[in-house]
Structure 1
Amino acid sequence: MPEIVMRKRLVTVEEIFHEGGPPAAAPLRRAAVLAVVKNPYAGRYVEDIVPFMDDLKPFGLSMAKALIDVLGGDAGAVEGYGKGAIVGAAGELEHGALWHVPGGYAMRELLGDAKAIVPSAKKVGGPGTRLDVPITHVNASYVRSHFDAMEVGVPDGPRADEIVFVLVMTTGPRIHARVGGLKAAEIKGEDGLR
């Protein structure tokens, strides 16, 4: 099985106090962890790439834990999440899809078996490529106040033979969210949607 070779990891935290309206009682915190790893399939087509996905599972758990830690260590304070991947030019989009299970299930597990699907985005690009990682509420995808995105990227990555794997977590809704719809307090928790 391929070995995970990480070149670097970036962790970033945003604190949003207002978006032009009154300051929030507590700022929204959005955090992202990005890991730049060697793509074991770069430059060639490999039919069976699932073994690398399996190898990434503990890696996903360590990245999710790092996010929870940077947001204060309380998994119960996390209300939103998302994931993504940027594949270097010698790879293919499907290599980014390897992150669906290791990244998504890791966050869901560490957040107490969160119910909602973890939204994702992926693309192929070179160093400095930016990615908008979509975010939804951890337990109900239809909670409009938590529809968000966090732009991420690595100045010198991914190189052609690398993949940038990304996880994002937030501590609440968008600042000044007021477009109606299902509220977090109304979540039934039956299906990950409502």
Structure 2
Amino acid sequence: MTIDVRKIVVGVEEVRHDGGPKLDRPILKGWIAAVLKNPYAGRYVEDIQPTMEALKPLGLECATKLLEALGGDTAAIEAYGKGSLVGAAGELEHGALWHVPGGYAMRELLGEALAIVPSMTKVGPLGAILDVPIHHRNAAYVRSHFDGVTLMVQDSPRPDEILFALAMTTGGRPHPRMGGLTQDQISKRDGQR
């Protein structure tokens, strides 16, 4: 199966504070979106799982480009997430094709990444906004890292396209004050706590 990528877009923001004191180290929040032709647009296909295998190189390419945009240091990445935005001629299930290629690529690239990668999938029109949930890469219950990245690619997805996205950050929210498990309290090494 050929994966026909029309474009790849990368966005990075540098958060210096969020209304409170300036941070000693800015937090980088980045995302990458790959926009590609949906091979199933306009028709129902029973077995679409082989496409997950075909998407694995794209997942690794996207994860690598995003890591580079955030400075290239795997140890600096604290949180991640993924998402899909399917054009109107597709179906929600087509966005689920990104679960393995996107999530596993980030986990493989980062080395130690124990937590499942949170995800959002939706069908939307040209220029739709995608909110990608993120949480800590090693413990999903680290409350300070419950966050998200909002992205939009103006000319995407066309009705017969899918936008697949990854997100990574170098920190949690700038001024966490909601208690709960903190990053330095991760102990179970089970991906949750």
TM-score (norm 1): 0.98
Distance in 1, matches of 2:188 and 2:136, equals: 11
Q: Give the C-alpha shift of residue 113 in structure 1.
A: 3.5
Contact 1:139 1:189 in 2 (8 A): no
Q: Does 1:50 align with 2:44?
A: no
The one-character-per-residue Cα deviations of 1:11-43 (angstroms, maximum 9, x if unpaired) are: 000111111111111111100000100000000
The aligned residue for residue 109 of structure 1 is: 108
Unaligned runs of 5+ in 1: none
Residues 74, 118 of structure 1: CA spacing in aligned structure 2 closer, same or farther, 3 A cutoff? same
Distance in 2, matches of 1:82 and 1:189, equals: 21
Residues 60, 189 of structure 1: CA spacing in aligned structure 2 closer, same or farther, 3 A cutoff? farther
Distance in 1, matches of 2:2 and 2:188, equals: 38
Distance in 1, matches of 2:72 and 2:56, equals: 21
The aligned residue for residue 130 of structure 1 is: 129
Q: Does 1:13 align with 2:12?
A: yes
Q: Which runs of 4+ in 1 moved over 2 A?
A: none
What one-letter code is carried by the residue in structure 1 that aligns with 2:45?
V
Distance in 2, matches of 1:113 and 1:165, equals: 23
Distance in 1, matches of 2:79 and 2:192, equals: 13
Q: Give the C-alpha shift of residue 174 in structure 1.
A: 0.6
Distance in 1, matches of 2:124 and 2:85, equals: 6
- Corresponding residue SS for 2:103: helix
Distance in 2, matches of 1:72 and 1:29, equals: 9
Residues 56, 189 of structure 1: CA spacing in aligned structure 2 closer, same or farther, 3 A cutoff? farther
Superposed counterparts of 1:179-190, under 5 Å: 179-190=178-189
Q: Give the C-alpha shift of residue 173 in structure 1.
A: 1.1
- Corresponding residue SS for 2:108: helix
The aligned residue for residue 95 of structure 1 is: 94
Distance in 1, matches of 2:56 and 2:76, equals: 23
Q: Percent identity?
A: 62
The aligned residue for residue 172 of structure 2 is: 173
- Corresponding residue SS for 1:99: helix
- Corresponding residue SS for 1:41: coil
Distance in 1, matches of 2:57 and 2:191, equals: 24
The one-character-per-residue Cα deviations of 1:101-120 (angstroms, maximum 9, x if unpaired) are: 00000000111141000000
- Corresponding residue SS for 1:97: helix
How many pairs does the alignment contain?
A: 193
What one-letter code is carried by the residue in structure 1 that aligns with 2:28?
R
